[in-house]
Structure 1
């Protein structure tokens, strides 16, 4: 469990008493106790309050609040407050200020407004973390450290400090200019570097420009890809400085920082190696597909080999930064909270506990709304959930999600795919991964979302959508997985480049060619208005005769792979659209185009059945989500109804007792109310 001082699913969230007068504090704690709140995150943005000048530190308010919370049975997730530097620091030490994409020096303002390679920022941030650790190392309320907040939430920095650090980063990565010139393909356009000092950051002043659909375009993908790696590493170095500062004094207190799901700027697989527990902030829109939220939970869980994670933030109802800030309908907050628990969360925390009265988050929801009392719909729903989590106790803590299918997700591949100068601006890496995840979700089949570094031996099916970049050793790893009996699926635009975004010559899909038993001659990019067809031979079980496809169409030739479907139109009519290659004891599939969603559901249903991968329940209508967590030999089946109305669910050969109501659930049909959940402790 995250910390044995609090052996239950933690319940609470961000609390900002520093924004309020003291008479409010006692009223807040009274209401926290009514709601079952037992953890508060403090000090997230209090750096300026804690350090009014270079030499003065004042933690009096924090001392008082730590003591007050502990006296009332509430533990503390203590943040280091370093996500926004104080105004005095920006005035006295302008090196902390970022320089933007167009070369303009920022002034003080906003948050995440610090240059990650500023010596001043690094010195004072790590010093603040250490002073907090020295002060509170023995405080009984301290449960976990929360470093900074939502790293990377502002623009990248292009200052002189970053440019100098980028040169050193590149020198460490490549060793010699000859190797750097090779990796960056600098013979193109006469870019060969003869001195490290000649290297400049890729920005709006050099290699990059703002393209369509919010993309950044670049002349040199290799340079820009390395800058993204460097920026992620720079912020990680800042995190590690604070991590080491608090660990020096509190080696047994876990440390985290809140991630943001599929956040493009930071390589979370790399970050997770330096986190004791993964935490993340979940803010779906009113219309976000439930499967997408599920995939984000699974992505976060997969960062540390399936270890349970923290839901660090969600809103009790409304959120304030989206174009249409809809209320969460009655029951939705509770349902979405249990969705997080179902997929591995061991905490349910909110932003925020009391709603702010000013600035840009004053209309962001809170447990205590502007009304200031407990007689609100939101508070009643929060109190109900708090009571239920209290009754669950430690039953689900450390329970693991079990899946026989996995989707490979790789940040560097994501960067490279969407930085490519072609073949289409319609290609979105996360969307392609979600298409497969959603198909499995609708089939009731669990899937982990894991790194290319993960151990694949426990999976019967591995899906690698758009594996454009094949990293060193990955092709060999996939060959061994399939040879041992696994089934691999990869798709169009795969096996194109290596880690420096240099094309693997000799024919696509490069290093995957032997495994897949194909080679790709050309790649056709279809306009949004254009479609082709996947034509399936008669007799293919569970599949229709044809399906629509589009966006990209690889023109492939079999080199031993069996052709399972072909294109129906255009000059490549009759060429393979879907192939499978027997390789050792397993099989490797190649889907050469982007199909309509029904194809993925039909195809994956048949493929999973052939691999012995079955849905968790016998029948569940659209909008019903199922997952399974296991602990000490006991299985817990979660069934969540995202529909507004009641539905009938049939568990099949499973039965048990719902932990929330004590009601027996047998294998026959049973009614699950709208926006309700079962947590079924299954009979063995």
Structure 2
């Protein structure tokens, strides 16, 4: 049965291709805008994000609004078949506002108010700032909600940061009071009897501070949750006048690369379409595999947040100016990295920025149009060529990524792990651990969702649970049912340690998963950077894996309580003790890896066997060279197979026996497929064969 999701906008049911555009920086020279329109059409760009930092140009003085320039931009877009995501300009406020209303400026954790400057240097709780935002957004909605060029609203820009002002302290106390109801419940959840920090009045509750309270882990965790909730509350405040004017226009806000400070799962619940900004540091090594798999993980994460196509809102067509080294994209990399996003579920390719700024902090950030101002550049030609390619891929719009594998990744678990003061305070490397497991699936060409504890599990065959330190009891029961009903899980060390309040389980680790996994984790050892141990696969193990593999950083001492031992430690006083186990539970299986294996080859062999045992489908049934991966989008009748070469070398792969057609040339493809350096091929085949 054909399955296709609605396009992001019915006004533009094709791949959106465009950039952040700042015409307000060039109002002194009208000729530049006219030239930009010509160049946009030449580059096959059909959409621009406009007005992101335009507050001072729209309202140069309090209460004095200037819309003529923006009217001209949008009217000219409409006349030329170009569309706009119109931004609310709250990401940076004008100087007059900070001067007249200092309360809009943020207060740091040190309780000092910031000076005017930077972006997002404003308090989301401030009544004045909220009032000014409402006035601005109401005027934008009133003027443009029915404009033919308007696709939707781009809310602010890259939300982030926190404020510790009196307004925010009061809001935090109210949030805590609403959650816990009584001080007794609060003190129990935060375990405040430790160091005699018991609260006896709600007024004593404050945000974490470097010169005050910072050792109550439950409080630290709740503060981060509050910051997310307060950011969402501000977002909802922003969109209220926009939705009141036209509830059908979608709203989005651009998220960032595995951003730490906000729980994007919660933010995703209130945005209409997911968009994010991707800035890989390409060409750090001979192979691009590490960078490519990290950004593949991010693409999969942002797709999984709403389980539908997302927007690549920002990327650079050439280089950045803020990374440690601003490396140029090598020929072919712009096409490859852009189509990687498409392969993982993006229905747009957009850039920061359209035209390079002449001054200030991003004047050397990459752009479609360089300072020279014409189309005769390598970068412009790369962008125009990609625009042509995207124009020929319309049939892919709205197609899902069919994944039967998922990785559990929760933000509050991430926060709690890094605050745990546990076995390796110099770096427990949660994110890198997640990526070790994901990378193996990426190399195998196995589509993967990145899910949270609130997501349904029944559609998956294999669930990876790396370092689920914070694991709610209800999630443990959900995982138990998943395995009992035939699912396979892989769980690692440092899982099932604490509940949602960062309180340790007293029933033996891994807490709610102890029965499902059939093991008890008695101790965990953090290894020094120079320390090494090893795991030895047991003879005749059911995975038919052999050999010894090096482990580092973490070794957990576990007891098998019904689980079969697949590997044991090779060294130290715990040599011979279990290091890898499997437990048959109900109709499924539960694997436990007790140490961090440093060798990628182990994960590739381990997951290759699990993929086979669980009946998972690889995108193509073929061996892929290191750094070459395959990704799938499908409407249920036609599969769109993306073969992406991040190896850094030209290479050849052998296709399986399915009949393929190259989507760009319409030529039949079989046997060996040549991939140039940084090459990508998009093939079609019938689904279900």
CA separation in 1, counterparts of 2:303 and 2:672? Answer: 31
Q: What do residues 585-635 of structure 1 show as CA deviations (whole Å, max 9, x unaligned)?
A: 001111111012221111111111111124322132122121110115211
Task: Tell me the residue number matched to 2:665.
Answer: 661
Residue of 592, 595, 613 corresponding to 2:594: 592
Question: Are the equivalent residues in 2 in contact too, given 1:518–1:559 (CA < 8 A)?
Answer: yes
- Aligned counterpart in structure 2 of residue 201 of structure 1, from 202, 207, 212: 207
Matched, 1:176 2:182: yes
Please say if residues 555 and 595 of structure 2, whose CA atoms lie closer than 8 Å, have aligned partners that are also in contact.
Answer: yes
In the aligned structure 1, how far is the partner of 2:78 from the partner of 2:544? 59
What is the alpha-carbon distance in structure 2 between the residues aligned to residue 555 and residue 642 of structure 1? 38
| Partner in structure 2 of residue 245 of structure 1 | 241
* 8 Å CA contact 1:318, 1:325 repeated in 2: yes
Counterpart mapping for 1:377-416 below 5 A: 377-392=378-393, 394-416=394-416
Q: CA separation in 2, counterparts of 1:130 and 1:556?
A: 60
Cα displacement (A) at 1:58: 1.6
> Which stretch of the first structure deviates more once superposed, 37-46 or 465-474?
465-474
603, 606, 609: which one pairs with 1:606? 609
**Deviations for 1:142-168, whole angstroms, at most 9, x for unmatched residues?**
00110000000xx42211111111100
Deviations 1:15-62 (A, max 9, x none): 000001221000011011100000011000001211123322221111
2:369 corresponding residue in structure 1: 368
In structure 2, distance between residues paired with 1:82 and 1:654? 52
1:194-225 superposed Cα distances (whole Å, 9 cap, x missing partner):
110111211112123xxxxxxxxxx1111111
Match of 1:70 in 2: 78
Indicate the larger mover: 668-677 or 517-526.
668-677
| Distance in 1, Cα, partners of 2:369 & 2:666 | 30
Unpaired stretches in structure 2, ≥5 consecutive residues = 1-6, 285-289
In structure 1, distance between residues paired with 2:522 and 2:343: 44
Moved more, 628-637 or 583-592: 628-637
Q: Give unpaired runs (5+ residues) of structure 1.
A: 209-218
Shift of residue 472, structure 1, vs aligned partner: 4.3
1:537 paired with 2:538, answer yes
The DSSP-based 3-state class of the residue aligned with 2:179 is helix
Q: Is the 8 A contact 2:483 2:589 kept in 1?
A: yes
TM-score by length of 1: 0.96
Whether the 8 Å contact between 1:83 and 1:111 is mirrored in structure 2 is yes
Root-mean-square deviation over aligned CA pairs: 1.2
Residue correspondences, number: 669
Residues 214-225 of structure 1 correspond to what in structure 2 (within 5 A)?
Answer: 219-225=215-221
Q: Is the 8 A contact 2:274 2:310 kept in 1?
A: yes
Q: How many angstroms does 1:115 deviate by? A: 1.0
- Give the Cα separation in 2 of the matches to 1:653 and 1:177: 66
In 1, are the aligned partners of 2:19 and 2:49 still within 8 Å (CA)?
A: yes
1:395 counterpart SS class? helix
* Mean Cα deviation higher: 655-664 or 567-576: 655-664
The answer to whether the 8 Å contact 1:538/1:545 transfers is no
**Structure 1 match to 2:572:** 570
Equivalents in 2 of 1:405, 1:433: separation in Å? 14
* Alignment partner of 2:21 out of 8, 15, 18: 15
Residue pair 1:542, 1:602 contacting (<8 A) in 2 also: no
Aligned to 2:357: 356
What TM-score do you get using the length of structure 2 for normalisation?
A: 0.95
* Residue 629 of structure 2 is aligned to residue 621 of structure 1: no
Question: Alpha-carbon deviation of 1:542?
Answer: 5.1
The answer on whether the counterparts of 2:256 and 2:276 sit within 8 Å (CA) in structure 1 is yes
Partner of 2:40: 32
Shift of 1:70: 1.0
| 1:116 corresponds to 2:124 | yes
Partner SS state of residue 557, structure 1: strand
1:147 matched to 2:149: no
By how many angstroms is 1:492 displaced? Answer: 0.3
